[in-house]
Amino acid sequence: MIDWKEEAEKTYGFRVDVLRRGRGSWILETDLGLRLLKEYRGSVNRLEFEEAVLQSLDGMETLKADQYVRNSEGELLSTAEDGTRYIVKEWFADRECDLKDEREVLSAVRALALLHRQFRMIKRQETWNMRSMISLPLFEAMRRHNRELKKARTFIRGKRKKNEFELRVIGNFEIFAAQAVEAERGMERLYEIHGKEIADGYAVCHGEPDYHHILIGNGYTAVTEFNQMHLGVQMEDLYYFLRKIMEKHDWNERLGRQVMESYERVLPVSEVERQVLYYLFLYPEKYWKQINFYYNANKAWVPAKSTEKIRKLEAQQEARESFIQTVIQGV
């Protein structure tokens, strides 16, 4: 077993006073400040891409990021004696954004808009043309997910004895599937008509702006965990974060409008971007996730949590549709 305190001190040259477990990582209290250490399985090119982007945020007062720390040899990636590869980043003692607190939600979305605005100023480099760094057209994922939905429905139909989860899927499939197909076709038409504008507007995206990754500090907001960062349509980020908020707040239209207004006060959304956002929201992603989880897991036993999530999706469907029509299309 690796002594991470000794390993970090030897490789990075700082003194570790306290070492404790984090979420899939180690938190280090050092004489130079808080640090996070975690194993890394990606490439050095990927790390260099992330470091180059994050350095553009260095020095900003109200927006901070978990910058990488190079080791004593000047390398981003370190290797322990047993071959374990790991990285070290600057870290924060602040707590995660509370989605129940509307003020924190609005602070978080302002930080996301600031992040996007700053990322749009970064000049794209040729070395960033790796597959993991560039988003595919958004309708391609929708098309793949729609094939998976059909496979799962065919399987469920063929079962003689169905549990509650399966009966609910049979009962509500047409409603959600129709939205999934409409979203895929609409997004594809959007790329056919505005493909060049969309591609030319590709900018750095966080990739997973979950509330776990947005920390509320004293006078600043810290955005962390950029391991899904890529070049793409930044509306993916806004959709991801806003959908999480709306699911927690039962698709509250008032709050949804406030979130959009807060974002647009920092970074206006173009008409094409708004259409992208509309089709992202129209696609029933949470429904697909539940069915895909079911289809790829042990179908003989469905967790009660999965059935409850399907029930909740049904219960929220009317509010979700109203939100899409009035907030996303109507803002």
pLDDT at 74 over 90: yes
Amino acid identity, position 62? T
pLDDT band at 301 (very low <50, low <70, confident <90, very high): confident
Q: Which two tokens stand for residue 178?
A: 């129709």
Q: Report the C-alpha gap between 259 and 237 in whole angstroms.
A: 13
Residue 274 reports pLDDT greater than 80: yes
Mean of the per-residue pLDDT values of the chain:
94
> pLDDT value at position 132?
73
> Which residues is 85 bridged to in the sheet?
79
pLDDT for res 128: 78
User: What is the residue type of 271?
Assistant: E
- Asked if residue 64 lies in contact with residue 50, where contact means CB atoms within 8 angstroms, the answer is no
Beta-carbon count within 10 A of 171 CB: 11
Q: Which two tokens stand for residue 123?
A: 């000049």
* pLDDT over 90 (residue 62): yes
pLDDT tier, 143 (very low <50, low <70, confident <90, very high otherwise)? very high
Per-residue pLDDT reduced to its tens digit, 80-117:
999 999 999 999 999 999 999 999 999 999 999 999 99
Q: Chain-centre distance of CA 144, in angstroms?
A: 19
Average pLDDT in the 50-77 region? 95
- pLDDT, average across residues 257-270: 97
- Could you read off the pLDDT of 150-171 as tens digits, one per residue? 999 999 999 999 999 999 999 9
For residue 230, what are the β-bridge partners? Answer: 205
Using 50, 70 and 90 to split pLDDT, how confident is the model at 221?
very high
Cα Rg for the chain, rounded, in angstroms? 22
Distance CA 243, CA 52 (A): 29
281 touches 328 (CB < 8 A): yes
Q: At what angle do helices 138-157 and 271-282 cross, to 10 degrees?
A: 10
Residue 174 structure tokens: 């047409």
pLDDT at 331: 52
Q: Tell me the pTM.
A: 0.93
Alpha-helix runs per DSSP H in the chain: 4-12, 44-54, 102-119, 138-157, 164-200, 235-248, 253-266, 271-282, 285-296, 304-323
Residue 299 has pLDDT above 60, yes or no: yes
For each of the domains in the chain, give its residue range(s) and CATH number, in order of start: 4-93 (3.30.200.20), 102-328 (3.90.1200.10)
Residue 129 has pLDDT above 90, yes or no: no
Q: Is the dihedral of CA 112, 116, 117, 123 positive or negative?
A: positive
% residues pLDDT > 70 (the chain): 99
Decide if pLDDT at 217 tops 90.
Answer: yes
Residue showing tokens 């469907």: 317
Distance CA(166)–CA(279), nearest Å, equals 27
Tell me how far apart the alpha carbons of residues 137 and 232 are, in angstroms, rounded to a whole number: 9
